[in-house]
Structure 1
Amino acid sequence: MLHYRSNTDIVLIERLQRAAFDYFLDYSDARTGLVADTSRAGSPSSIAATGFGLSCYPVAVERGWIRRPDAARRVLTALRFLADSRQASDRQATGHRGFYYHFLDMRTGERTWNSELSTIDTALLLAGALTAAAYFCGRDPNEAEIRSLAARLYERADWAWALNRGDTVAMGWRPPGRFLKHRWRGYSEALLLYVLALGSSNRPVAPETYGAYSAAHEWLTIDGAPHLHAGELFIHLFPHAWIDFRGIGDMGMRSARSDYFANTRRAIALQRAHAEENPHRFFGYCRDLWGFSACHAPKGWLKLRDGRRQQLLGYAARGAPFGADDGTLVPWAPLAGLPFAPDDCLDSLSHLLAHYPALLRDGRLPGGFNPSLPGGGREGWVDDRIVGLDQGLAVMMIENWRSGLVWEITRSIPAFSRGLKRAGFEGGWLLPVSLNRKRFTDQNMQ
């Protein structure tokens, strides 16, 4: 999987990956194991960031950044807390029906920010727990307990309840008893959610729910080829952090003679093309400066450095080529895109660091920046937050590019393969080993 052009490239990537992992050491609570949503003082925990962190510990052990027993103890702290925390329908609980509130108090684990019981963020948390459990497979009592607790957490999630008598999973629920009206229908990061919901051996959803979810996919024709559209970069990337989609496809992808990996590579190319075209004439945009995704920014009508006034969107899901674009970019995009377009992403990373060096803080890239706004340097406005989700995604996607480690781990997890097959995925590593070997032999004889 690894493709780089010089030792300088890999030294830089190693440094950025290590700094991104260290976020989970610097911004987790020693008693609960919960990970802060952002680096801002007083930030609550994000259960999704906690899930990314759990998945990053295997990477750190393999890279020699942390001792295996120390990593196992950190994982165990989080899983014990989550397993023992209170599940109830009142407003102060940590979760309900096996799901968790989006934001939790770092020290007590109680619901905070009036947040919803989030099905997608719980899915990201459980994906992390399962990944850690598959990696920590030794006889050590701590590792055995990790496996037991991860299985307990996963099987406790009542996915059938989350349907709320509908044909797709609800986005969330609020106490004391109200489901959110929106559902996970149409292409989104919930691809991962449906794999886990279908893979459960205790309270799964039926395969028909995946059909209802995917029936709303928006397909476009780009340069004569079908493309499953989502403007926001994170939608494409989040499921890939865990699942190796190369060579496997659901019914829609098989009909398009494609797979989600190729589709994401095309999405990155579309983002780069949009930045090069730069229809709104924002400062700095070019083929090597791109990254349209969900992030923070100022809000309201503000004057740009060229004197024009532009409406800034605040926190918003930005996308390209069809989506919101107010000049705000996510600088982590080249790191997360490395498995799909390594040469292009290495070029973009070099450009980013050469022209906007002040973005790095403690070796980490912030949640977003807008070079079109006036500021202290070329960087313009820079988010003062380092975001846990971004750091975890960077660690995992860099590692999937360097070694394929996370993908290798999740290919061994029955819940993932079972969920993919129930969703209708076929081919590639989902084939029986004997057929995989035969196909590999046949391909190499052609």
Structure 2
Amino acid sequence: MGNNLSDELRQLQQEAFDYFLNEVNLANGLILDKTALNWPASIAATGLALACYPVAVERGLMTREAAIARTLATLRFFWQSPQGPEPEATGYKGFYYHFLDMTTGRRAWQCELSTIDSALLYAGALAAAVYFDAADAREREISEIADALYRRADWQWALNGGATVTHGWKPESGFLEYRWEGYNEALLLYVLGLGSPTHPLPESSYAAWTSTYRWESCYGYEYLYAGPLFTHQLSHVWIDFRGIQDAYMPGKGIDYFENSRRATYVQRAYAIENPRKFEGYRECCWGITASEGPGPATLKSKGIEREFYDYVGRGVPYGPDDGTLAPWAVVASLPFAPEIVLQAIDYCIHQAKLKTLNRYGFKAAFNPTHPGEPGNPYGWWVSPWHFGLNQGPIVLMIENYQSGLLWNLMRRCPHITAGLRRAGFSGGWLSATRPSLPADRAFS
């Protein structure tokens, strides 16, 4: 990124944060999932926004007073919104529906009550509670509501009588058939569920989850396998896994942070080999993850018939892969492997010009193999949208790389440290953190 490396990262961070400044309902704090017409809010994007506001205050992107106002509006909405088994509620058993109407805050699209998206919302709320710690009445209210929201979640209910946590629930049909299996973003979910002082997951549920892990060797790197790149990043947005290990990792000789570093290098190695011969893939052009794409469509490109997908969990090395890359997922690996990530960010900015004509930094995805619409300014397909779920990790992982702000905040969150300990984590910074939990308190 040349001599302006730090400046360009700061600019990218600010542009990504502008999404949260603008794509919001100020009355309830809800953040738009996607910049498409009549689209609903995403509780995950809203949780990311809550974590981004402290960064914005520290970086001069908004005043502390403005951040307090937004955070309070968000937390008050979730605390006061209807909880119950009715199909049009906002949540149930302390969890929330994946998508909510931007105006009413009620369930949208008959979507599921989502355990992972609720976890991302709680993580954002807890980050806000740690940051806004002044004696001022409004900052105390942030801490009290965030704590109350977290304590209300019934993690034991979310087990549905099984060993591992379910993906979610619908009032029309009950629990979803899927449970969290294999290494993925559920690492954060389990830490939060285990740390609950009211309805905690049993420690056996974490062991049941890690028993489904797959350890593999790809391109000379041994690592805990998960295909999409975001699965190696999302839990790390909040938790600093450097130097701490659970029962699984000592036998492998690494920690989860090193695992994510290796997964990042696997992505690059896959792009260099480019086994499916897509356009553009090389050492500075990678980032295969769950993302939107140019499909569904089948097109012939340079004599090869290609199948292109819409939103799908693209992954490395086993696919699916249709040539679609996500620049935000490259940025979110910045703390793990800056020596290769900075080169890829530089490519996205200066050669692929993926910030050109874009209001919020990088668009969600691009595909150099797909021609896109005739006359498009890039010469290949570029997503027309921005997603809140993509913007948050850009803001937060640039900050963790440069200052460790969110990591340091969450080290001070007693629920996170309690969850890590109950999951069997020890060593490193966790050993130096005094185990404690706040006194029980009721908020109404």
1:332 matched to which residue of 2?
Answer: 328
Does residue 261 (structure 1) correspond to residue 261 (structure 2)? The answer is no
Q: Secondary structure of 2:227's partner?
A: coil
Write out per-residue CA displacement over residues 237-272 of structure 1, whole angstroms, 9 at most, x where no aligned residue. 000000000000111111111001100000010000
User: How far apart, in 1, do the equivalents of 2:378 and 2:35 lie?
Assistant: 23
Structure 1: distance between partners of 2:268 and 2:339: 13
Aligned with 2:369 (options 361, 369, 372): 372
Misfit runs of 4+, over 4 Å: 222-225
AA in 1 matched with 2:345: L
> Equivalent residue for 2:431?
431
Map residues 239-250 of structure 1 onto 2, 5 A cutoff. 239-250=235-246
The corresponding residue for 1:392 is 392
- SS of the equivalent of 2:145 reads helix
5 Å matches for 1:45-56?
45-56=41-52
TM-score of the superposed pair, with normalisation by structure 2: 0.94
Match of 1:151 in 2: 147
What is the identity, as a one-letter code, of the residue corresponding to 1:240? H
Query: Which of these residues, 81, 86, 92, is aligned with residue 77 of structure 2?
Result: 81
Q: Is the 8 A contact 2:81 2:90 kept in 1?
A: yes
2:129 aligns with: 133
Correspondence for 2:91? 95
Query: How many angstroms does 1:377 deviate by?
Result: 4.6
One-letter code of the match for 1:152? A
- Alpha-carbon offset, residue 214 of structure 1: 0.4
**Displacement of 1:335:** 1.4
Q: Is the 8 A contact 1:35 1:45 kept in 2?
A: yes
Decide which of 35, 41, 46 is 1:39's aligned counterpart. Answer: 35
Identity of aligned residues (%): 47
Once residues 176 and 114 of structure 1 are traced to their aligned partners in structure 2, the CA distance between those partners, rounded to angstroms, is 9
Q: Give the Å deviation of 1:216.
A: 0.3
Q: CA deviation at 1:6?
A: 5.8
1:439 corresponds in structure 2 to none
> Letter of the aligned partner of 1:330 in structure 2?
A
Call closer, same or farther: CA 1:364–1:184 in 2, change over 3 Å.
same
| 3-state SS of 1:310 partner | strand
Counterparts in 2 of 1:83 and 1:349: CA distance versus 1, 3 Å: same
Q: Which moved more, 1:302-311 or 1:402-411?
A: 302-311
Could you tell me which runs of 5 or more consecutive residues in structure 1 were left unpaired when the two chains were aligned: 435-446
Conserved 8 A contact 1:304-1:373: no
- The structural deviation recorded for 1:302 is 2.7
Report the aligned-residue RMSD.
Answer: 1.5
Q: Distance in 1 between matches of 2:45 and 2:248?
A: 30
In 1, Cα distance between equivalents of 2:360 and 2:325:
18
In the alignment, structure 1 residue 353 sits paired with structure 2 residue 327: no
Amino acid at match of 2:36: R
CA contact (8 A) 1:297 1:313 kept: yes
Which of 151, 154, 157 aligns to 1:161? It is 157
2:338 to 342, 363, 382: 342
Aligned to 2:442: none
**Hey, what does 1:107 align to over in structure 2?**
103
Partner of 2:418: 418
Equivalent residue number for residue 442 of structure 1: none
Q: State whether structure 2 residue 315 is matched by structure 1 residue 322.
A: no
More displaced stretch, 419-428 vs 326-335 = 326-335
CA-to-aligned-CA distance 1:104-129 (integer Å, 9 cap, x gap)? 00110110011000000000000000
Contact 1:47 1:122 in 2 (8 A): yes
**What is the match of residue 437 of structure 1?**
none
Number of aligned positions between the proteins: 430
Q: In the TM superposition, what whole-angstrom CA distance separates every residue of 1:54-108 from its partner, at most 9, and x where no partner exists?
A: 0000100000111101101100000000000000101100000000000000110
Q: Which amino acid aligns with 1:227?
A: Y
Distance, in Å, in 2 between the alignment partners of 1:15 and 1:291 is 21
- For residue 7 of structure 1, report the CA deviation from its aligned partner: 4.5
Q: Does 1:278 align with 2:274?
A: yes
**Pair 1:215-2:238 in alignment:** no
**Which residues in structure 2 correspond to 1:59-78 (within 5 Å)?**
59-78=55-74
**1 CA distance for matches of 2:360 and 2:120?**
25
**Secondary structure of 2:248's aligned partner:** helix
Partner of 1:382: 382
Quickly say closer, same or farther: Cα 1:379–1:295, change in 2 above 3 A.
farther
TM-score (norm 1): 0.94
Q: State the AA in 2 paired with 1:145.
A: E
What is aligned with 1:438?
Answer: none
* Structure 2 residue 202 is matched with structure 1 residue 189: no
Deviating more after overlay: 407-416 vs 362-371:
362-371
Note the alpha carbon deviations across 1:321-375, whole angstroms, 9 max, x for none: 2221100110113311111111211111111222211554024111111111113
Q: Secondary structure at the match of 2:169?
A: strand
Q: How does 1:115-130 map to 2 (within 5 A)?
A: 115-130=111-126
CA contact (8 A) 1:292 1:329 kept: yes
Contact 2:396 2:406 in 1 (8 A): yes
Aligned to 2:439: none
Residue identity opposite 2:208 in structure 1 = A
Shift in Å, 1:26: 0.5
How far, CA to CA, are the matches of 1:214 and 1:362 in structure 2? Answer: 41
CA separation in 1, counterparts of 2:360 and 2:148?
A: 37
CA contact (8 A) 1:101 1:115 kept: yes
TM-aligned CA distance change 1:378 to 1:278, over 3 Å = farther
Residue 367 of structure 1 aligns to a residue whose secondary structure is: coil
8 Å Cα contact 1:246-1:260 kept in structure 2: yes
